[in-house]
Structure 1
Amino acid sequence: MSDRLKFSPDILARLGEELVPDIDQGLIELVKNAYDADATECRITLHDATADGGSILVSDNGTGMSESAVRNGWLVLGRSSKTQKNLTPQYNRVPVGDKGLGRLAALRLGRQVTMRTRPRSDPGREFELVLNWDQFDAATLIEDVAIDITESPTDRPPGTDISIERIRGPIGRGPVNKLVRSLLLLSDPFSEEGKPEAGIRTDSTSDAVSPDPGFKAELVADEYADLQAKLGQSYFADAEYRIRAQLDADGQAHFSVLDWKGDTLHQATPSDLYDAPPFVFDLWVFILDGKSFSTRTSTMREVQDWLKHVGGVHVYEDAIRVPPYGGLGDDWLDLNLRRSRSPEMRPSTNTSIGRVRVANPLRRLVQKTDRIGYIENNAFLDMRRCCGDALDWASRTQVRERDKRRQAELEIVQQKTERATARLQAVLTKAVPTTERKKVDDAIDLYVKEKGHETKALREELQLYRSLATAGMTSAVFAHEIGRPLKLIDNGLQALQKMIPDDQQADAGRRIDRIIAAKARLNSFVSIPLNLLAKKKRRSGKTNINQCLAELVDLLAPIAIYFKVKLDLDLTDQYTDINGSEALIDGICLNLIMNSINAFQRNEFAQADRRIRIATTYDGSTVSVSVTDNAGGIDGLELADIWLPGVTTTPEGTGFGLTIVRDSVHDLGGSVRATALTDFGGAEFVVALPPMRELFK
């Protein structure tokens, strides 16, 4: 007795919307099908998408499908005829769609799907079928639902229309925004008009194959006209320079830096070989400051908004984008990490847009089953390594060029100084009597000597802050790298708890709680440098002191709990806005609070009730922040000396904390004073800052 496997309709949800949960990725698979059908255009039309029961129409002008292709291809899920490396018949394209699972997710967006297709090979005929998902959901087995394919005459041109009707819920602005981004990037907005894209085969082996005219995806959505308009924007001409890496079929790479016109500034051929398919990597880098955009037709705000939607490094396999590379939050080339390690001449995901165009006819790069990214095999890892090496080379090259310019400028300044000195001497010789010349020379020498002292002091301060910047970047790299292992600890603890016998859960729970508490403290320390170095925190403008303090205290809560310190917030409900950056306020208050916490650790001082009081006040002309502790006060140092760099009473301390506080307060136009011992039982620091409104009096 024999039988066969049967499938419940529930498998449709498992393979469709659960495997590919994002609306945009499901619809993108339908667009990829259009590309594989040698279409030059594909349009997605949203009708009443903001309400239940709307519809989505996906239309293309491709080759369409015969009845046999519909039965044996379109209706068969999970099997890909595209793994055989067959090129498309008309434009010799490498197929990019696969398996049909993404298509299933899109088709399941509505309660019914109507598909109409007109084959180029059989003009005048149209085939139509209807998928009613309610019938499938009510059936016991998938094969119980019959699907009829009807034929009718038509005078419409070849192509395919897929109408997804009675959509199951409204499609909000967020998913549509992602869809716009995906469509914009899908057909490679980087391509130059009239030039074939790398990755699209143009070496046709048959006279019947036509040159590929390209592929364009379009969105029509009346409810989201502003998002639809973004598909036509492009600001590549505003880039300051471009980094390029080309890998040939022999694994030899060629690196170059191009200016905004496309002319080569620097080039190199590295000695390393890379085991990856041929590709071209381009990264457009923008200098986002007012000076750079003063002579351009576009505004810095427009470019920033554009980069927000399309920035990052995207991957195109045979002219079709491969997600998630370059998507929101994806930094697969570690641009931001490289910048944090060595910020000089380094682009970030907020200041650049790039793409890797790869030809993959031999399928050395293998996409994952869910179509989200490549399996990280040797070919992928070497492609990523080559791109990273190009970024590092470009940074080194431009730093060297910048240093040469600085040295040349310094030599010019020295020459000008020598000429000015010679002119001064000539004027003095002519204008000053000999009897008075010594007095004038002595006065000039004294002035030069004092300016020399000032220059030396500034140079020492510059060296100090360079050292602090290096330490800050190092801690940021450490924080970034340690974040992933911390997540693994969470997963490991959860798995361990499940393995512990019930009779030992109580004892093990206490031990695990201690590990969790220690991890929370480490998490807090890791978050501090990343929080302080966040770009938005470094932007100067209207800043609310109370909000900064509340967020900082929340960030430090696990640390305070570990050291058994109570943080008391006493925030005024009056005006506390100042003109400055959150990073400066955070740096000031963090140093003062951590100084107090460290003071409690002194061996010679014991305090059972450890408290730090953080308060704000406003007297009509000054916003004040006070940090007071009961750690015994400042002892062993003169108050005037505590602000000096390198001065500390803590053996493990750096002595830079209060120096940073002093200089940061000065940068904000304020003042800071310290009291060695107060009635509260310890030291007090009071920072006084001008309020925002004072700036407009």
Structure 2
Amino acid sequence: MNFEGAQAYLRPRARLMSTLGEELISNERVALTELVKNAYDADANLVLIRFNPPLQENGGSIEVWDDGHGMSPDTVRGTWMEIATSYRHRNPRSESGGRRVLGAKGIGRFAAARLAHVTAITTRRAGEPEVTLRIDWGNFTEGDAYLDEVPVSWSTAAPYVFMEGGEAERNFSEVTRGFTTASADARPGHGTVVRLEGLRMEWGREAVESLKRSLSRLLPPPPPAKLSVPDQPEFAIYIDVPEGPLSHLAGFVAVSEALAHPRYRLIGSVDVAGNAHLAVYADGDEPVEVVEENLRKDSGRPSCGPLKLDFRVWDLEKPALQPLFHLDTGARNLTEVRKLIKDNSGVTLYRDGFRVQPFGEPGFDWLGFDQRRVNNPTMRLSNNQVAGFVYISADDNPGLQDRSHREGLIDSPEYEELKTVILQAITRLEIQRYKLRRPEPGVQPGTGLLTGPSGGRGHGVFQSFNLEPLRQVATERYPNDVVLGRAIEEATETINEGVRKVQEIIAQFSRLATLGTLVDVILHDGRTALARMAFDLRQLSKITKKVEERDVDLSAALVDLRTDFTAQERAIDRLFTRIEPLSGRQRGRPRQLSLHQSISEAASVLESEIARHRVDVTIGGEDVTVTAEPGDIRTLVLNLVSNAVYWLSTTPDGTERAILIETERAREGESDVVDITVSDNGPGVREEIRELIFDTYFSDKPDGIGLGLSIAGSVVKDFYDGDLWLVSPGPLSGASFRARLRRRVG
């Protein structure tokens, strides 16, 4: 038979309904949140979530009541019963026009299938009959029926639930009795109730607490008056639970009082071009810094669009938490204060005033705060001490699109730019926090020199001496054990005091020894991994040759992949070569060398980065011959030049970018010295951080580790009895650093 030109049609099996519910909705908490969002889109003022026992798998029920517009019979048939309808694309605002709707794909209804075996919906629009639907989701998974062969039971009748004196009015009146808000004036003549019968999971204390915590962040807390955020529509959520162990969880979902009392705060806005107006607060109502600058740093990515920021930050040590303990936060001890902060931590994203899942959820560290802290524990914030609120809109931020499974944003260039801009902003808060927590500086060297490594503050390695893992386990297993909590607090204070004394004793000796040991570990483990990577790349090359005979396109793709990985392997190997002089192993013997040649060889390591950012590097001055270990000069130059290249890359595209490296022999008293000066015409070092830049682990870069200047200063000081300084003014208009070598310069 000849079927050329014939047409066929896709016809889904009924089990697709169950599959969509499980695949599009990641868990039951998100599923309930989807039903609440449906109520929000229907202009509801009040949502009641009622848990009916027994709250066990295959038992009990959950009811979701709202006082929204409800649905007419025509809406149920023509919109609700159509899957993936384009209704919300055609109507992006709620019926009242006051809300930007949260649903757009027409698939949120599958949340009910994720929660229970049976869904019963009763809904009424004002002036219309009441509609009831009953869906047994098991009918869609049995047999091989097609989707259009499984009937859904529905009926219309005179109002019974949503009417004067009806069940809806009684429920809402019971909840709002004693409250004088617009939500208290629930409208009984219309709305929707979704009854979920035969629960698919057990709803215990932990599950309901997690739901309540998640819902508490659905709408942001009241924004500061300084931040011009549109007024949020009145929208209240009430959770009703049966008498017993869950009783304390009943009530209106509210923002934690702890959020109103941060120690540090960042408030401000960023426009579509990246121009920021930010204010940083610390222990007071007056800003310690006002930031007016561009945060996009000449990014090649498209703009993420305008946004507004409200970041609240706490220190988690005992002295910093004492003031919170005396506030009405509901916490009985410092352990519970700390838990309150951690339960509300994370950076939440709000689009048109409503939360985008899963931003702000515990463990969803989308900005990488915890990894930044691992790299730099002294300066960086961890995710569990930050409560951030980021405000965007669907109209002004079109490049930030939801993933199809309803959680997170698509990994687009705009999303990457959003994260970059936010990290640029939060770095300014981290700097101010670092300055407040920094010990008093020591004596600074040099007349006419702004600052140097002698003022370094010590080492972040001691940050690991804490009982936080023990505290977390104790809090989870024994949340009500006050005695245990206090014992851990006292032990933590004892350890902190001991660490402080140890730091004071060994600070002057530990810098180079600690760094050398760390570099030894990195070189050993890193090069072992590189050797394995090289072996795997050779195997990939063999596989590629075999594949080429069968699939030319796949072979070409494998070649590209191998080329990219090989380039990355070589880049890491070059990095290890750069830090090898700082290891604790025996160094090579110093020899006579030309400074210009050594500097040129060091700069060539950064050749690709220099070319990518279109930087002009010039080596000038007297070509001095010194007796040195080549790796030392390479380490010094690489750290200073790589810093200069980074800051030059933040200047506007098209700007002339230049680095000048000059060497000269000079006299200091009765002795000869050799100076190496690295200057650039970038933005320079801001006045307020000049005394901080040589501190170990301090960095003004969003992802900086803060070791570059410390490493360079250690090499100059420990091997050449020299100093590294920031000098002003320098040969070029930006930052200028001068390394003075006093030993082996003859």
TM-score range, shorter chain: 0.5 to 0.7
Give the whole-Å Cα distance in 2 for the aligned partners of 1:488 and 1:371: 37
Alignment-derived partner of residue 255 in structure 1: 278
Give the whole-Å Cα distance in 2 for the aligned partners of 1:35 and 1:480: 53
Alignment-derived partner of residue 297 in structure 1: 326
Instruction: Quote how far apart the aligned CAs of 1:132 are.
Output: 2.1
Give the whole-Å Cα distance in 2 for the aligned partners of 1:36 and 1:102: 12
Q: Verify: 1:281 aligned to 2:312, yes or no.
A: no
Classify 1:345/1:498 alpha carbon distance in 2 versus 1 (closer, same or farther; 3 Å): closer
Instruction: Quote how far apart the aligned CAs of 1:81 are.
Output: 2.8
Q: Which one of the candidate residues 142, 145, 161 is aligned to 2:150?
A: 145
Alignment-derived partner of residue 376 in structure 1: 411
Alignment-derived partner of residue 618 in structure 1: none
Q: Which one of the candidate residues 16, 27, 49 is aligned to 1:11?
A: 16
Counterpart amino acid of residue 181 in structure 1 = R
Q: Verify: 1:224 aligned to 2:246, yes or no.
A: yes
The superposition leaves residues 582-601 of structure 1 with CA deviations (integer Å, 9 ceiling, x where unpaired) of xxxxxxxxxxxxxxxxxxxx
Alignment-derived partner of residue 461 in structure 1: 506
Give the whole-Å Cα distance in 1 for the aligned partners of 2:91 and 2:530: 40
Give the whole-Å Cα distance in 2 for the aligned partners of 1:486 and 1:328: 37
Instruction: Quote how far apart the aligned CAs of 1:471 are.
Output: 7.0
Classify 1:309/1:402 alpha carbon distance in 2 versus 1 (closer, same or farther; 3 Å): closer
**Percent of residue pairs bearing the same amino acid type:** 25
Instruction: Give the secondary-structure state (helix, strand or coil) at the position aligned to 2:340.
Output: helix
The superposition leaves residues 604-642 of structure 1 with CA deviations (integer Å, 9 ceiling, x where unpaired) of xxxxxxxxxxxxxxxxxxxxxxxxxxxxxxxxxxxxxxx
Give the whole-Å Cα distance in 2 for the aligned partners of 1:52 and 1:494: 52
Give the whole-Å Cα distance in 1 for the aligned partners of 2:229 and 2:395: 9
Instruction: Quote how far apart the aligned CAs of 1:268 are.
Output: 0.9
Q: How does 1:261-340 map to 2 (within 5 A)?
A: 262-273=285-296, 275-295=303-323, 296-298=325-327, 299-340=333-374
Instruction: Quote how far apart the aligned CAs of 1:390 are.
Output: 0.9
Q: Which one of the candidate residues 58, 63, 68 is aligned to 2:64?
A: 58
Q: Verify: 1:79 aligned to 2:85, yes or no.
A: yes
In the alignment, structure 2 segments of 5+ residues that lack a partner are 1-5, 164-187, 328-332, 445-501, 547-746
In the alignment, structure 1 segments of 5+ residues that lack a partner are 203-211, 410-456, 502-697
Give the whole-Å Cα distance in 2 for the aligned partners of 1:101 and 1:479: 52
Classify 1:390/1:408 alpha carbon distance in 2 versus 1 (closer, same or farther; 3 Å): farther
CA contact (8 A) 1:245 1:390 kept: no
The superposition leaves residues 638-664 of structure 1 with CA deviations (integer Å, 9 ceiling, x where unpaired) of xxxxxxxxxxxxxxxxxxxxxxxxxxx
CA contact (8 A) 1:87 1:93 kept: yes
The superposition leaves residues 209-233 of structure 1 with CA deviations (integer Å, 9 ceiling, x where unpaired) of xxx5422223222353344579443
Q: Verify: 1:171 aligned to 2:207, yes or no.
A: no
CA contact (8 A) 2:12 2:147 kept: yes
Instruction: Quote how far apart the aligned CAs of 1:136 are.
Output: 2.9
Instruction: Give the secondary-structure state (helix, strand or coil) at the position aligned to 1:186.
Output: coil
CA contact (8 A) 2:223 2:310 kept: no
Give the whole-Å Cα distance in 2 for the aligned partners of 1:324 and 1:488: 35
CA contact (8 A) 1:44 1:218 kept: yes
Q: Verify: 1:182 aligned to 2:210, yes or no.
A: no
Q: How does 1:557-636 map to 2 (within 5 A)?
A: none
Q: Normalising by the residue count of structure 1, what TM-score does the alignment of the two structures yield?
A: 0.55
Instruction: Give the secondary-structure state (helix, strand or coil) at the position aligned to 2:195.
Output: strand
Counterpart amino acid of residue 293 in structure 2 = P
Classify 1:397/1:171 alpha carbon distance in 2 versus 1 (closer, same or farther; 3 Å): closer
Instruction: Quote how far apart the aligned CAs of 1:16 are.
Output: 0.8
Instruction: Give the secondary-structure state (helix, strand or coil) at the position aligned to 1:243.
Output: strand
Instruction: Give the secondary-structure state (helix, strand or coil) at the position aligned to 1:291.
Output: helix
Relative contact order, higher structure (CA 8 A, sep 6+)? 2
Alignment-derived partner of residue 666 in structure 1: none
Give the whole-Å Cα distance in 2 for the aligned partners of 1:172 and 1:248: 44
Q: Which one of the candidate residues 222, 239, 250 is aligned to 1:191?
A: 222
Q: Normalising by the residue count of structure 2, what TM-score does the alignment of the two structures yield?
A: 0.52
CA contact (8 A) 2:227 2:308 kept: no
Alignment-derived partner of residue 116 in structure 2: 110
Counterpart amino acid of residue 219 in structure 1 = I
Alignment-derived partner of residue 581 in structure 2: none
Alignment-derived partner of residue 532 in structure 1: none
Q: Which one of the candidate residues 424, 441, 448 is aligned to 1:389?
A: 424
Instruction: Give the secondary-structure state (helix, strand or coil) at the position aligned to 2:288.
Output: strand
Give the whole-Å Cα distance in 2 for the aligned partners of 1:324 and 1:221: 25
CA contact (8 A) 1:238 1:260 kept: no
Classify 1:150/1:29 alpha carbon distance in 2 versus 1 (closer, same or farther; 3 Å): same
Classify 1:133/1:240 alpha carbon distance in 2 versus 1 (closer, same or farther; 3 Å): same
Give the whole-Å Cα distance in 2 for the aligned partners of 1:272 and 1:85: 35
Classify 1:177/1:403 alpha carbon distance in 2 versus 1 (closer, same or farther; 3 Å): closer
Instruction: Quote how far apart the aligned CAs of 1:65 are.
Output: 1.7
The superposition leaves residues 344-368 of structure 1 with CA deviations (integer Å, 9 ceiling, x where unpaired) of 4432122221121112225331001
Instruction: Quote how far apart the aligned CAs of 1:104 are.
Output: 0.6
User: Aligned-residue CA RMSD in angstroms?
Assistant: 4.3
Alignment-derived partner of residue 261 in structure 2: 238
Classify 1:340/1:231 alpha carbon distance in 2 versus 1 (closer, same or farther; 3 Å): same
Q: Which has the larger radius of gyration?
A: 1
Give the whole-Å Cα distance in 2 for the aligned partners of 1:376 and 1:289: 36
Counterpart amino acid of residue 10 in structure 1 = R
Q: Verify: 1:34 aligned to 2:9, yes or no.
A: no
The superposition leaves residues 359-417 of structure 1 with CA deviations (integer Å, 9 ceiling, x where unpaired) of 222533100100111012232222111110012222234445666965799xxxxxxxx
The superposition leaves residues 185-232 of structure 1 with CA deviations (integer Å, 9 ceiling, x where unpaired) of 1122x2249x799665x7xxxxxxxxx542222322235334457944
The superposition leaves residues 427-455 of structure 1 with CA deviations (integer Å, 9 ceiling, x where unpaired) of xxxxxxxxxxxxxxxxxxxxxxxxxxxxx
CA contact (8 A) 1:40 1:214 kept: yes
Instruction: Give the secondary-structure state (helix, strand or coil) at the position aligned to 1:98.
Output: coil
Instruction: Quote how far apart the aligned CAs of 1:497 are.
Output: 13
Counterpart amino acid of residue 375 in structure 2 = R
Instruction: Quote how far apart the aligned CAs of 1:43 are.
Output: 1.9
Classify 1:481/1:402 alpha carbon distance in 2 versus 1 (closer, same or farther; 3 Å): farther
Give the whole-Å Cα distance in 1 for the aligned partners of 2:60 and 2:382: 40
Give the whole-Å Cα distance in 1 for the aligned partners of 2:345 and 2:437: 26
Classify 1:237/1:111 alpha carbon distance in 2 versus 1 (closer, same or farther; 3 Å): closer
Classify 1:458/1:173 alpha carbon distance in 2 versus 1 (closer, same or farther; 3 Å): closer
Give the whole-Å Cα distance in 2 for the aligned partners of 1:73 and 1:240: 49
Alignment-derived partner of residue 366 in structure 1: 401
Give the whole-Å Cα distance in 2 for the aligned partners of 1:81 and 1:338: 43
Equivalent residues, number = 440
Alignment-derived partner of residue 214 in structure 1: 234
Give the whole-Å Cα distance in 2 for the aligned partners of 1:488 and 1:82: 50
